[in-house]
Amino acid sequence: MMIPHRSTALLSVIVFVALLLFIFSSSPVPDVAEGEEVSGPAKFVPRPKLSSLANFHLPSFRPPSHEQPEEQKNSTHGESKWYSTLEWLNPFSSAITLDENRSVLPPLDERRPIYTYYNAKYNPNKASAKDLKELQNADAELLLAWRRAWYAQGFKPVVLTPGDAMLNPNYEVVQKLKLSPKTENEVFGWLAWGHMGTGLLSDFHCFPMARYDDNMLSYLRRGSVPESITRFDNVKNALYAGEKSRIDAVVQSAVLKLDDKTTSFVDLMDAESFKVESPSALAFYKSAAITSHYPTVHEKMGQNPAAGQQALVQLINAHLHNHFQSAFPAGLAVLKPFPQHTTALVEPALRLAKALIQCPESPMPDSCPPNEPECRPCGSAKSAMRISQPSSFKNTTFLFTIGTLPHPYTLVSLQKNSEEITTPQIRRETERDAWLSEVTKDHLGPELGSSYRGVIFKQVVAAPDAVGTSLWMTVESLPAAAGQSLPAELLDEFEWQFGFKIPRGGKIDPATENDKESAKSAQDRTPSEQGVGKEYELIQKAREVIKNKETNRINIKDVVEAWNLADTEVWRFVKAYRARTLVERQKWEEEEKPFAGSRS
């Protein structure tokens, strides 16, 4: 008897489904040979590292959730939205947030507070009211420089005042004594710190003069040992680190010994209360150092204290800038993938790089910071800090990288040299995730899929060991016209990452001294040698397309994003990461606005 055709078809379907279930439930994930393309579910299974990018790893990922996480406080800025979680190393944020426009970021590290005490009325030299006012203004500039330098190193700078000292229980005892102005200032600083509690106490003449990954600075960010207060022997009285219980105990003990003849509050504290360190990462611009090492500044202070203080601020800023230049002997790398199409795209980043390699203004250009007497000042170098424009990211701590990410639609427009982009062109004439593949090709090779490239790139941007060696931004946040200077507010933002003021004028380098535009500032020049008008026009039109909120139909932007999922993911990641950085700093600045040294 013959089986009916319908029964044969049904039987075939059953056998086919059974084979699929058997294959996907029992087959192990096969080993992947080098150079073999990985597709399907296997590409999301963790595999051994395929590259020499030893500092980064390929994590496992959690499965998608059916519940959208609640919106966190301070997690939006403009069009950027984010969700901070330990599970941030995921190929696609939407797997966690269930929101295509909400990026997953690493948890925001809590900044350890570093305090300094400042009394605006402290006037040991009996200056006139006018002179005291000018000195207070100069002090505010110094405090701002102090805040910026420590903030860039991952700390939360806080300026304490006599009002904080008054809240300490020991204040009633101290204020009854007739202490000298200098001793009273020192005692009130400790009382204010004791009231605030755990953290660091710094003289505002003490600056971090080291790389972000310096061992001592990393130790201070993590927190000190609770059993004692850390003191730094080679910068006496400039910096202390401790927990509240130990601070309270030490202050209480010293207050009991305090009398009208006391000249040093710290000398009343038991030596056993301190753990002594001798770091090289701190530059203390104390009075003795200024007198012996910086005679020009010392002379100005003698003639006019306020002018001398302003000269000191300029000197310290120059030292911080010079240290940045020497910390990256391989120079600055301005990423420029697809160089035949991306001159305008990277032009703002190149402008920033040109400013960073300038020699900063200084009252003593050939001087060195107190902790680096054998430094090489910018003006004495044989050549300026080198700028390279590689197409791929280079994994080295000796090179500072400035990266500019385009939205995939922006990149396609530039590659096609046209604003008229069609869906067939996208599908047939462009590669998927071209930008990410290009900037990671040197270290990851051709084997790795785009999803994993995106995960590793996120680590390059935001992993703890990558902080301080790169700066990332999106094209759409930068100037959109040829020859346009970087906005002042953008440079202000970058300064809080670098820790020093970025030059906004002056010549780029000696080689351009006789150029017909030499009178213009570095920010007003066009660094490129080729015309970029058309590219800038395409970038501007691409911005308009990206901002289009039309939802009635699928537009070309949606098509490009769907075709370049990994490129879109990292673009949104960088955009959200920078937005969160800005929100964090603005929140802190708002808290510190009433105190000296804040930006008003």
Confidence of residue 78 (pLDDT cuts 50, 70, 90): confident
Chosen domain end from 493, 513, 539: 539
Calculate Rg over the CA atoms of the chain.
Answer: 29
Distance CA 143, CA 441 (A): 44
> Does residue 33 lie within any of the structural domains?
no
Regarding whether 447 and 323 lie in a shared domain, the answer is: yes
Q: Are 209 and 368 in contact (CB under 8 A)?
A: no
Residue 460, pLDDT score: 94
pLDDT at 68: 83
- Whether residues 362 and 501 share a domain: the answer is yes
Asked if pLDDT for residue 348 goes beyond 70, the answer is yes
Same domain for 135 and 202? yes
Q: Are 210 and 120 in a shared domain? A: yes
Q: What is the average pLDDT value for the chain, to the nearest integer?
A: 85
Tens digit of each residue's pLDDT (9 = 90 or more) over 372-402: 998 989 877 666 789 999 999 998 889 999 9
- Domain span at residue 496 reads 316-408+430-539
Q: Is residue 350 part of a domain?
A: yes
CATH number at residue 192: 3.90.550
Residues 236 and 331 in one domain: no
In whole angstroms, give the CA distance from residue 78 to residue 334.
27
* HEC per residue, 53-105: CCCCCCCCCCCCCCCCCCCCCCCEECCEEEEECCCCCCCCCHHHHCCCCEEEE
Residue 300 lies in a domain: no
Weakest mean pLDDT among 375-379, 407-411, 574-578 = 375-379
Over 70: is that where the pLDDT of 49 sits?
no
| Judgement on whether residues 280 and 177 belong to the same structural domain of the protein | yes
| pLDDT tens readout for residues 471-497 | 999 998 887 677 788 888 899 999 999
How far is the C-alpha of 406 from the C-alpha of 567, rounded, in Å? 9
Residues 514, 443 share a domain: yes
pLDDT value, residue 559:
93
CA distance 432 to 441: 14
Domain assignment of residue 379, yes or no: yes
Closest CA to 147 of 324, 353, 316: 316
Flag whether 199 is in a domain: yes
Q: Identify the H or E element spanning 493.
A: helix 488-498
Is residue 410 predicted with pLDDT exceeding 60?
yes
Identify whether 94 is part of a domain.
no
What does each C-alpha distance from 239 to 170, 199, 281, 488 come to in angstroms?
22, 11, 12, 33
Number of domains in the chain: 2
The arithmetic mean of pLDDT across residues 577-587, rounded, is 95
Q: 452 with 58: CB under 8 angstroms?
A: yes
Chosen domain end from 539, 559, 585: 539
Pair 176, 238 in one domain: yes
The pLDDT of residue 530: 52
- Residue 201: inside a domain: yes
**C-alpha triplet 72, 75, 81: angle, nearest 5°:** 115
Both 167 and 217 in a single domain? yes
Q: Which of 67-76, 189-198, 448-457 has the lowest mean pLDDT?
A: 67-76
Q: In the structure encoding, which two tokens stand for residue 192, read together?
A: 């204010």
Q: What is the mean pLDDT of residues 515-538?
A: 58
Does residue 369 sit in the same domain as residue 435?
Answer: yes
- The three-state secondary structure class of 283 is strand
- Is the domain of 360 the same as that of 214? no
Q: What is the rounded average pLDDT of the residues 17-30? A: 50
Q: Is the pLDDT of residue 225 over 80?
A: no
Determine if residue 199 is left, alpha or beta; phi over 0 gives left, psi from -120 to 50 gives alpha, anything else beta: left
- Range with the poorest average pLDDT among 3-17, 127-141, 414-428: 3-17
Higher-confidence residue of 11 and 326: namely 326
User: Does a structural domain hold residue 488?
Assistant: yes
Q: Does residue 384 share a domain with residue 256?
A: no
